[in-house]
């Protein structure tokens, strides 16, 4: 009996050692396979968005980035990919989701003398808009009556009306509705030998129809925060009004939209600075604001008592002063209309505006 158990004991030891030796062998074989046949390791990663050196790009392999005409701005995908940034200048086209359109030899000043353009094609059928962020934007100032007759920024294609712009517009942005498959062309016309250190760097971002960045149709500008500021194109403060003419750009007619956030019912507007060309320096309303004004539909004036609401039947404002107002009409939109005749008649007032907005929660709407 003892001999039987002794034999059984040795059999179990042999089986255990055999099983253990099989695991080690398998591991060694796998290790050798990994070591001697590395070309079987296929690394896959998605072409997702990446950020490097304050620029947005797309994660590609180095070869793909080179083939697509991008620039290597650093690594992504745990070092297996490169953050590919697309920088384009005059006479080019792009199909990338994010592109930076710069003046020749940027950031050096551009002497001008011709039309510089880029053509943007959809990279996906689900793209509905372009958002252009003016990271850097300096062109010649408009004429004394607000016309961009030296330099001008213009858009062709798309279904939005984007006005011609000029002057100083760094940190501004515009949206362009991108219907159909027809490319959108972004152009900047400049005249030679005009004394201005012009340059630009415009971030072109393609926006999906279902994206949170998608703006309501018809909005040239769009904001999604609880509070913030909106500034007129080529805004000039009192300190910068040292030129003989206006800072306002004529022939504008556009809307600045503020997304109404959940739990908020009222939008309050106030002014840090306000100078809309008109014939007087009062808080002018609809009686005289016929050609040059901002408009806040269905708005009411509020006085120094935050709980006291004054009803004044007007929605147009111009002149030198703006009394804070509130509106509950959503979507929240501030319209801007400018006319060269009004600007020419009173250009000393035409510096533009800085308007501050603040959304109020439904439970505390009038505070």
137-150 pLDDT per residue, tens: 999 999 888 899 99
How high is the mean pLDDT of the chain? 83
**CA nearest to 135, candidates 195, 64, 85, 182:** 85
Tokens of 345: 């008649």
Tell me the per-residue pLDDT of 87-120, one tens digit each, with 9 for 90 and over. Answer: 999 999 999 999 999 999 999 999 999 999 999 9
d(CA 132, CA 206): 9
- pLDDT over 60 (residue 12): no
Taking the CA atoms of residue 265, residue 226, residue 232 and residue 56 in that order, the dihedral angle to the nearest 10 degrees is -140
Q: Is the pLDDT of residue 55 over 90?
A: yes
pLDDT greater than 70 at residue 295: yes
pLDDT on residue 351: 84
Is the preceding peptide bond at 146 cis, omega within 30 degrees of 0? Answer: no
Q: What is the Cα–Cα distance from 70 to 324, expressed in whole angstroms?
A: 48
* C-beta of residue 258 within 8 angstroms of C-beta of residue 360: no
Mean local confidence (pLDDT), 64-72:
92
The reported pLDDT for the residue numbered 71 is 92
Summarize pLDDT for 171-216 with one digit per residue, the tens. 999 999 998 889 999 999 999 867 788 999 999 999 999 998 999 9
CA distance 69 to 185: 19
**Buried b / exposed e along 15-31 (16+ C-beta atoms within 10 A):** eeeeeeeeeeeeeeeee
- pLDDT score at 365: 59
Confidence of residue 245 (pLDDT cuts 50, 70, 90): low
Residues 310, 283, 320: CA angle, nearest 5 degrees = 140
């Amino acid at each position: 009996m003892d001999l039987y158990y002794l034999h059984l004991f040795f059999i179990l030891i042999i089986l255990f050692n055999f099983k253990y030796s099989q695991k080690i062998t398998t591991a060694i074989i796998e290790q050798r396979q990994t070591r001697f046949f590395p070309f079987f390791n296929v690394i896959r990663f998605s072409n997702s968005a990446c950020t490097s050196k304050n620029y947005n790009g797309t994660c590609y392999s180095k070869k793909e980035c080179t083939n697509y005409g991008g620039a290597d701005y650093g690594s992504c995908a745990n070092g297996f990919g490169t953050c590919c940034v697309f920088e384009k200048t005059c006479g080019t086209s792009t199909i990338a989701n994010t592109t930076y359109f710069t003046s020749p030899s940027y950031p050096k000043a551009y002497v001008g003398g011709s039309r510089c353009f880029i053509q943007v094609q959809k990279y996906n059928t689900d793209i509905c808009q372009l958002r252009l962020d003016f990271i850097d934007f300096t062109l010649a100032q408009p004429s004394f009556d607000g016309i961009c007759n030296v330099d001008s920024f213009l858009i062709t294609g798309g279904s939005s009306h984007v006005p011609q712009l000029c002057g100083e517009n760094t940190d501004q942005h515009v949206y362009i509705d991108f219907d159909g498959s027809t490319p959108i062309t972004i152009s900047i016309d400049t005249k030679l030998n005009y004394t201005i250190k012009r340059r630009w760097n415009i971030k072109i971002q393609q926006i999906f129809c279902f994206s949170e960045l998608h703006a309501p149709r018809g909005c040239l500008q769009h904001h999604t925060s609880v509070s913030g500021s909106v500034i007129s194109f080529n805004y000039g403060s009192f300190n910068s009004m040292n030129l003989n003419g206006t800072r306002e750009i004529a022939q504008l007619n556009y809307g600045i939209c503020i997304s109404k956030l959940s739990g908020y019912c009222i939008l309050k507007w106030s002014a840090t600075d306000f100078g809309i060309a008109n014939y007087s320096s009062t808080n002018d309303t609809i009686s005289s604001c016929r050609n040059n004004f901002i408009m806040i539909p269905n708005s009411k004036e509020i006085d120094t008592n935050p709980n006291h609401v004054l009803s004044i039947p007007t929605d147009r404002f111009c002149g030198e002063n703006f009394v804070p107002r509130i509106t509950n009409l959503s979507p929240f939109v501030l319209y801007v209309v400018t006319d060269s005749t009004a600007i020419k008649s009173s250009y000393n007032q035409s510096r533009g505006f800085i308007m501050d907005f603040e959304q109020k929660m439904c439970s505390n709407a009038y505070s």
